[in-house]
Structure 1
């Protein structure tokens, strides 16, 4: 009997404990809902909605609406906050109300609001729990069920690019947009399209496609291409055709065209790749973006910040601004470039492939930066046909390539740098004579069939003769005397292997491999694997005018002038030794740059020819170099490389062009 009573008591206690199972708390449920919300787990959030809410909106509609709104408005840094009560007296009721705050960042700036959430007690599958009585005001308090959200954007005025004298290199102005009105072509479509295609240099198929687009109606103006208002001859021919109409529209304009194309660059329509790369920066598929040159490098500064409004629109069309970011127009970019000098150099190089730079060797200011051959960026912005773009981009002369960014073997223009470095290192006696007979030399028989060659025989060659006559053997021996480690070390003082801070992503100059004596010897006269970009090369001559200090090249007018990139790249004594010899390279009747001599004008310089070939003995491509400056005035230094000068005069081609630049400046 006692055992039976004990058993009954145990059963009763278990039943009692089961009956005391803790009921779900509304605050806990809402807290879990908020956790999902902060993670933007909208699928999970839907499971917390009340039955009445779920009858009004499906899971697909709920998740898609939230995702679209948050995606379109670029919502991030979402933080929904709820202060959970210590004692929740609402747990015993059928409904509960809690206040929460929402903070988030959006395309139009921060959004913040407070709101009340309502929970109801429901029984599902024999279990009682709390569910959120959701409505659209949970997204934004001002939002009703039938309201819509829209974005209103204001495009900022793009900043302009100026030269040192305030001349516009890139600006926004009015151009003529040429188009056709289909109804005015009735009965003569083929003839009209053919004539317009020839005048606009467009394929007839492109015009037919434009006119036949789904949106086009007979009376509509169908835009085809933009043209400059200055192209009066073309415009006169176009407007003679009855179906042709024109209207003024805004466009990016490049007043100096081909002369500054690689420097300034151009803008183009945003691509899917651009949008992915600049996600979260407010770009849309209708925007334009810098595609090359300074337009690309200073895109953020030039573009400014678009104005954006997030607007809630009700069924009656009434609008309420939810968030707003005011438009900020782009900033101007002012360069150290002299546009007129840029034009002169570009005109002289027009028939050649190569690059040129003019700098002020004491301030480091870039006065001109040219790549040739070039292209007209206006044609790209105004609208190029597919065949036109294909022809330009596949041109074997590569007119789209900005050659001043590229590395080249410098050839003999490296010799003054090697000389200055070797003198500073104490590994070169400028008066010591080298006696090598013949036109070729090798260190020893281990070189096999490889020889260092010179242009003409010479004897008793000291530093002056070696530079004036550009003796490869002398500088091959100089680099071997320095040795691999010291050669690398002295060239590091000239910033070899370093990225020079400059608005363009210049290819870093390099010594390359010096692992064999042959490579080391070749590097001494600018061959082997040694390569330089032309901006670095020009700045590498500045120590000869600045007591050995290498001046940093700059391109922005507001940048500090006369910055020292490398203090004592060479010693002041080495600079004063090499500098005067570079004057003799031009003035001496036997100097390699003698044709650059200008009567009454103290031009100093160094020529160079770099041969690019697979092996010794074969004929390779040659690039001609000339670096020159006025040693007395010290106000301009020009470096130029011209590709493919073999059998055409070698370095004399850039020498003549650079000479004429200085003659123009006299």
Structure 2
């Protein structure tokens, strides 16, 4: 019995040992290899599964490094390898097994998917027979062979361009120059090198450093600095230097330069702070982004998306494309601005600090948003040095300040709006004369030493028409007081004061007062003639006058060309009152404070204003001159223009003079 049990145990042991020595099938081995592949365990793949005969052709370091480098550089993710064989075959007597597999992955050039026949060979390792992968480069990508190179190409997209209403180019993908020198040409000419450095705004040491780069050979073109296509004079001087050379390159162009500088903005290299905010959107350290103006505001629409192409270069034969994602160009955008009108406005301001907005009263299309002085975006797109930026920043005229996005005291240009509010409220009889005498007035003794001052005593009672023609501060202070704080506040609110301007470009909201209320009599009276704390952007002021021109409807200001006109505020004044105010605004130019703007061939109507900027009541200070005007014969636009520091130039007279020239030039160029 014991002998019988012993024989049974021995038999079980033999069977068990036989099971342990059973050779795993090729499918089992390939499955194990695939699991490691899906996990990118390249070292283990090579050590345990690559055939010894294959290892004679590719070493472990080359195998592992190649996989890791390719997968990293191509940003390979979501690797998935699956066996396509439905059932195992009997490979007991075979020396080679062929099993179909499918390889899938995501790359920065898009998805890659290919099918391949995996070949396994029965070979011996460490005196044990096993199935191994007969590996070659085609396991990485289809068609790849030993010696082939993987290449990654960026397919450049194009940034969207900006055009004005008439198709004029505001921000386009144009050209510029890379200025440089031929290596060896300046070696013995220190004077020429110094002149080259001065013209390019670099140092001679920088030029020497560039010339000493390892790749430089005599006669080679060595790039030094980018130049704008508009640097004609500088290029002319540079070309006179022996050895100077320039190559044309692609570059963002701003054809209207300073005239639209604040509106268009510019693009520049992304900085670290911007990259941190935008990296989730796919931005890289090599990208350029909008820095100011429309370039920044419309970055998402204008931004292009580069494509990528992964391909194999072969020693013989054509390249083989593995994956490709086409570039996506940014969106071209057309805005309502009339670039020629804006350039006219900018040129007539002649670099004096000021701003102007022009709006079509019937459609709300914004035809001009000018800020003077300004900067040339072509200079900024090249990269402005710290010293140059400091120079601009310290300029007392503040060329970096975007004035059309700011709000200012409207001065007497608010008076037609005060009149419209009082007429709508029923507190103003336009024909009723007020017995105002003298140049100073106060409601009562509670005002202390403060009084409202007017420029002219007409020597007769004053009605609305005469008050507008002669810009009578006392009349409009009384008008505001008669309307009362509630109706005056609500009236200004009905004109959009105290709320965000519904405009696609960020412009500061106009305000009624610092607190938003008119709860003090002096503040209320001062607000009636545009002093106090009321502030308005020129865009809002031009739009508000549109309510008078447009019989009570103020249109929503439109930035983009082709948008459907939309009423922002309606029933601001009756048609009867609007007609009355239109007549009075024409008389302001024919007989009143804007007589200098009464041009032959026009029917200019409008209102002047001088805003006194005082540190405190009773003192003198700087003055801003304003003029809001339109041509009643051809109301193509209402223009609100403001000029700073005109106390020595006759206040609003300076604004009238500039506006007059704008209308003349506009008619000349548009006819």
Q: Give TM class, smaller chain.
A: 0.7 to 0.9
Other-structure match for 1:354: 354
1:431 partnered with 2:435: no
1:225–1:383 Cα contact (<8 Å) kept: no
Q: Using the alignment, how far apart are the partners of 1:418 and 1:538 within structure 2?
A: 15
1:282–1:306 Cα contact (<8 Å) kept: no
- Which one of 526, 531, 537 corresponds to residue 527 of structure 1? 531
Q: Using the alignment, how far apart are the partners of 1:487 and 1:544 within structure 2?
A: 17
Other-structure match for 2:615: 614
Other-structure match for 1:416: 416
2:261–2:375 Cα contact (<8 Å) kept: yes
TM-score by length of 1: 0.77
Structure with higher Rg: it is 2
1:558 partnered with 2:551: no
Q: Using the alignment, how far apart are the partners of 1:298 and 1:358 within structure 2?
A: 22
* Long gaps (5+) in structure 2: 1-34, 50-59, 83-100, 117-136
Give secondary structure in 2 for the equivalent of 1:280.
helix
Other-structure match for 2:595: 594
2:74–2:108 Cα contact (<8 Å) kept: no
Give secondary structure in 2 for the equivalent of 1:278.
helix
Residue 601 to residue 293, structure 1, CA distance change in 2 (3 Å) = same
Instruction: Give the deviation of 1:210 after TM superposition.
Output: 4.6
Q: Using the alignment, how far apart are the partners of 2:438 and 2:321 within structure 1?
A: 86
Instruction: Give the deviation of 1:406 after TM superposition.
Output: 1.0
- Which one of 574, 581, 586 corresponds to residue 583 of structure 1? 586
2:613–2:621 Cα contact (<8 Å) kept: yes
Q: Using the alignment, how far apart are the partners of 1:270 and 1:378 within structure 2?
A: 17
Q: Using the alignment, how far apart are the partners of 2:401 and 2:530 within structure 1?
A: 23
> What does 1:8-19 align with in structure 2 at a 5 Å threshold?
none
Query: Aligned Cα RMSD in Å?
Result: 4.7
Give deviations 1:389-416, integer Å, cap 9, x for gaps. 3322332222122211111111111111
Residue 65 to residue 472, structure 1, CA distance change in 2 (3 Å) = farther
1:226–1:383 Cα contact (<8 Å) kept: no
Other-structure match for 1:181: 182
Residue 463 to residue 271, structure 1, CA distance change in 2 (3 Å) = same
Residue 140 to residue 496, structure 1, CA distance change in 2 (3 Å) = farther
> What does 1:39-118 align with in structure 2 at a 5 Å threshold?
108=109
**Alignment length, in residue pairs?**
607
> What does 1:384-463 align with in structure 2 at a 5 Å threshold?
384-458=384-458, 459-463=460-464
1:202–1:385 Cα contact (<8 Å) kept: no
Other-structure match for 2:280: 280
2:498–2:516 Cα contact (<8 Å) kept: no
Other-structure match for 1:305: 305
Other-structure match for 1:657: 658
Q: Using the alignment, how far apart are the partners of 2:630 and 2:172 within structure 1?
A: 33
Residue 233 to residue 473, structure 1, CA distance change in 2 (3 Å) = closer
1:357–1:369 Cα contact (<8 Å) kept: yes
Q: Using the alignment, how far apart are the partners of 2:621 and 2:479 within structure 1?
A: 25
Give secondary structure in 2 for the equivalent of 1:408.
coil
- Which one of 570, 574, 577 corresponds to residue 577 of structure 2? 574
Other-structure match for 2:606: 605
Residue 107 to residue 412, structure 1, CA distance change in 2 (3 Å) = farther
Between stretches 441-450 and 642-651, larger displacement belongs to 441-450
Give secondary structure in 2 for the equivalent of 1:640.
strand
Q: Using the alignment, how far apart are the partners of 2:523 and 2:278 within structure 1?
A: 44
Q: Using the alignment, how far apart are the partners of 2:650 and 2:443 within structure 1?
A: 30
Instruction: Give the deviation of 1:213 after TM superposition.
Output: 6.0
* Long gaps (5+) in structure 1: 1-33, 83-98, 116-135
Instruction: Give the deviation of 1:608 after TM superposition.
Output: 0.7
Instruction: Give the deviation of 1:278 after TM superposition.
Output: 2.2
Q: Using the alignment, how far apart are the partners of 2:110 and 2:545 within structure 1?
A: 50
Other-structure match for 2:486: 485
Give secondary structure in 2 for the equivalent of 1:616.
coil
Give deviations 1:251-295, integer Å, cap 9, x for gaps. 122222222222222222222233223223333322322222222
Instruction: Give the deviation of 1:102 after TM superposition.
Output: 8.6
Residue 51 to residue 598, structure 1, CA distance change in 2 (3 Å) = same
- Which one of 549, 555, 563 corresponds to residue 545 of structure 1? 549
Q: Using the alignment, how far apart are the partners of 2:445 and 2:72 within structure 1?
A: 76
> What does 1:625-664 align with in structure 2 at a 5 Å threshold?
625-664=626-665
Other-structure match for 1:475: 476
1:514–1:520 Cα contact (<8 Å) kept: no
Between stretches 572-581 and 330-339, larger displacement belongs to 330-339
Q: Using the alignment, how far apart are the partners of 1:625 and 1:416 within structure 2?
A: 14
Give secondary structure in 1 for the equivalent of 2:184.
helix
Other-structure match for 2:224: 224
2:352–2:397 Cα contact (<8 Å) kept: no
Other-structure match for 2:167: 166
Instruction: Give the deviation of 1:658 after TM superposition.
Output: 0.6
Residue 70 to residue 383, structure 1, CA distance change in 2 (3 Å) = closer
Residue 342 to residue 584, structure 1, CA distance change in 2 (3 Å) = same
Instruction: Give the deviation of 1:558 after TM superposition.
Output: 2.1
Instruction: Give the deviation of 1:439 after TM superposition.
Output: 2.4
Residue 404 to residue 229, structure 1, CA distance change in 2 (3 Å) = closer
Instruction: Give the deviation of 1:49 after TM superposition.
Output: 12
Instruction: Give the deviation of 1:637 after TM superposition.
Output: 1.6
1:513–1:529 Cα contact (<8 Å) kept: no
